[in-house]
């Protein structure tokens, strides 16, 4: 069944073959997870959201119209649910929780502590900078850089023009450069 098209598998699911859905999940699970982690920056939250997405997709499979690819429809749902999760939970990791998560043990040396601090600072710094982008810029940026999709694919998933994707990427990169350059101290002070 792994060589069947998405459309054929979807028809099998619609006709009562619930086991066929496992093939779609297997095919897209990692890609949906990567999309979620690009927004949430937390593995556990991304895992949970990935499961929620596949449950929602299963229950709404009859709403899937074949005017777009299944993957496009799935990514739209993934992005919308990830954005909703951000709004609901206001996910903000603190520096100390990042350290305790990464280390899982007591700090053994100053050198080890310094390495963890630098890693945690870089990740937190990048996450906060990404969170400063507009929702549209963040969607395009995550799909383009985290999911490594082409501009054409991003255009199809978000249902916007190719020029709009290019413009959002350009403005997003400019915004990130400005944030990373001018506000480095502000982010550090928030730690």
Which of 1-5, 8-12, 91-95, 117-121 has the lowest average pLDDT?
Answer: 91-95
- Give the position of tokens 């990427």: 169
Angle at CA of residue 12, ends 79 and 158, nearest 5°: 20
- List the one residue out of 153, 160, 152, 156 whose CA is nearest residue 135: 160
List the domains of the chain with CATH numbers.
1-91 (1.10.1740.10), 94-191 (1.10.10.10)
Q: For residue 40, what pLDDT is reported? A: 86
Percent of the chain whose pLDDT exceeds 70: 74
Range among 19-28, 84-93, 169-178 rated most confident: 19-28
Determine the Cα–Cα distance for residues 67 and 40; give it in Å rounded to an integer: 30
pTM exceeding 0.75: no
Specify whether the CB–CB gap between 86 and 128 falls below 8 A: no
pLDDT for residue 184: 56
| d(C-alpha 67, C-alpha 49), whole Å | 26
In the predicted model, what is the mean pLDDT of the chain? Answer: 79
What integer pLDDT is reported at residue 59 of this predicted model? Answer: 92
Q: Which of 93, 181, 172 is nearest to 135 (CA)?
A: 172
pLDDT in tens, 115-135: 545 555 666 666 777 778 888
Taking residue 122's Cβ as centre, other Cβ atoms within 10 Å add up to: 10
Q: pLDDT tens digits for 76-106?
A: 999 999 988 877 765 344 334 444 544 444 4
């Amino acid at each position: 069944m792994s060589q069947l098209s998405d459309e054929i598998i979807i028809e099998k699911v619609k006709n009562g073959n619930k086991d066929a859905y496992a093939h779609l999940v297997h095919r897209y699970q990692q890609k949906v997870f990567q999309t979620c982690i690009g927004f949430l920056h937390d593995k556990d939250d991304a895992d949970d959201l990935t499961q929620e997405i596949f449950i929602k997709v299963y229950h709404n499979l009859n709403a899937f119209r074949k005017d777009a690819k299944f993957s496009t429809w799935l990514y739209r749902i993934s992005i919308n649910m990830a954005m909703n999760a951000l709004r609901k939970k206001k996910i903000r990791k603190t520096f100390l929780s990042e350290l305790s998560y990464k280390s899982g043990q007591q700090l053994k040396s100053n050198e080890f502590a310094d390495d963890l601090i630098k890693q945690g600072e870089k990740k937190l710094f990048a996450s906060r900078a990404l969170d400063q982008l507009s929702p549209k810029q963040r969607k395009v940026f995550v799909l383009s850089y985290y999911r490594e999709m082409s501009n054409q694919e991003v255009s199809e998933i978000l249902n916007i023009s190719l020029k709009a994707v290019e413009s959002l990427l350009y403005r997003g990169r400019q915004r990130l450069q400005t944030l990373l350059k001018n506000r480095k101290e502000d982010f550090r002070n928030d730690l």
